[in-house]
Amino acid sequence: MEMLIQQLVNGLFLGSIYALMALGYTMVYGIIKLINFAHGEVYMIGSFIGYFLIKQLGLGFFPAMILSMIGCAAIGVIIEILAYRPLRKSTRISALITAIGVSYLLQNVMIYFFTPDKRSFPQAIERKTYDLGFLSVSNIQLLILGVSLVLMILLQLIIKKTRMGKAMRAVSVDPDAAQLMGINVNRTISFTFALGSALAAAGGMLIGLYYNSIDPMMGVVPGLKSFVAAVLGGIGVIPGAAVGGFVIGLVETLSTALGLSAYKDALVYGILILILLIRPAGILGKNIKEKV
C-alpha cells in the first residue's frame, strides 16, 4: 500500500508534464482544428536550448527556462506562419500530413546538427530528497509540480482576463465572425502557437532536469502521450487537457507499481479507448452535433 501511494504521488509529477504539453495540443485544435504533431519536437528543442544556455553561458535554471520558452514561442510562430497558415483553407488531411512532415523535419535537423546521442542535462539545481513518513519526494519533483501549476494558472488568467484571451475564445467559436468584429485572426492564431510552444519548452527543460538526459528523439513518445491526454480530457477543452495529463501520469506510475511496466503504454491506450467508448468527447468534452 505504501508503494502504491508513493507511485500515485510520482504520477502527479509526471502527469503535470503531460498536462503542460497537452495544453498546447488542445489550444491549437480549439482554434484551428489542427493536431500539431510537431509539438513534441518543440518540447525537445526547448530542452536543448536550456541545455546550451546553462552549460555554455552558465545561466541559472529559471533564467534559462524563461529564455527557452521565449525561443520556442518564436519557433512555434514560425512553424505556424510557414507550414500551417498557407494550408488553413485546405483539407484537414493536408494539414495533418504537413504537421507530421514538420515533426520529422525538426527531428532530423536536430540529429544532423547535434547527433542522435544522449546528452546529460546540466544539474543546475542541487537534488534533495525529503522523507514525509513513508513518502519520499525530491525537490526536483516539487519544482516540476509547482512550475506546472503556476504556468497552468497563468494560462487560465491569460485566456479569461486578457484581450488576447478573449480574442482566442472568439476565434475558436467562429473565426469569420471574429474577423468581422475587428479581431486579427492571424495574430491570434500565432499567439496561440506561441503560448503552446512556450509551455512545451518548460516541460522539456523540467524533464531534462528530472531524468538528466536529453536527445533529439525525446519528444516522440511524450508528444504522442500528450496528444492522448488532450483527447482523453476532451480535445479543445483546456481544463480537460490538464485532467487528461494527470490521468496518463497516474496510469503509467500505477502500472509500474503493479509490475506491469512493460504494458504501461498498452494500458494508457486501453483506458483511452474505454473512456471514449463511454464519453466520445472525452472526460470534460461536450458532444456537439455538426451539420452535414
Averaged pLDDT for residues 84-97: 88
Quick: pLDDT tens for 12-52.
888 899 999 999 899 998 888 888 999 999 999 999 999 99
How much is the pLDDT for 288? 55
DSSP track, 212-276: S-B-TTTTHHHHHHHHHHHHHH-TT-HHHHHHHHHHHHHHHHHHHHTT-GGGHHHHHHHHHHHHH
How much is the pLDDT for 257? 78
What is the grid cell recorded at 151? Answer: 504556468
What is the grid cell recorded at 42? Answer: 518543440
Confidence of residue 291 (pLDDT cuts 50, 70, 90): very low
Rounded CA separation 11/165 (Å) = 30
Quick: pLDDT tens for 232-260.
888 878 888 888 998 898 888 888 777 78
How much is the pLDDT for 161? 92
Q: Where are the domains of the chain?
A: 28-120+138-229
How much is the pLDDT for 67? 97
Residue 282 has pLDDT above 50, yes or no: yes
Quick: pLDDT tens for 202-238.
999 999 999 999 999 999 988 988 998 998 888 878 8
Rounded CA separation 153/165 (Å) = 13
User: Percent of the chain, pLDDT > 70?
Assistant: 97
Nearest Cα neighbor of 217 from 47, 66, 52 is 47
Its pTM stands at 0.91
Quick: pLDDT tens for 115-164.
999 999 998 898 888 887 778 888 999 999 999 999 999 999 999 999 99
Report residue 125: phi and psi, to 5°.
Answer: -125, 125
Q: What is the mean pLDDT of the chain?
A: 89
Residue 1 has pLDDT above 70, yes or no: no
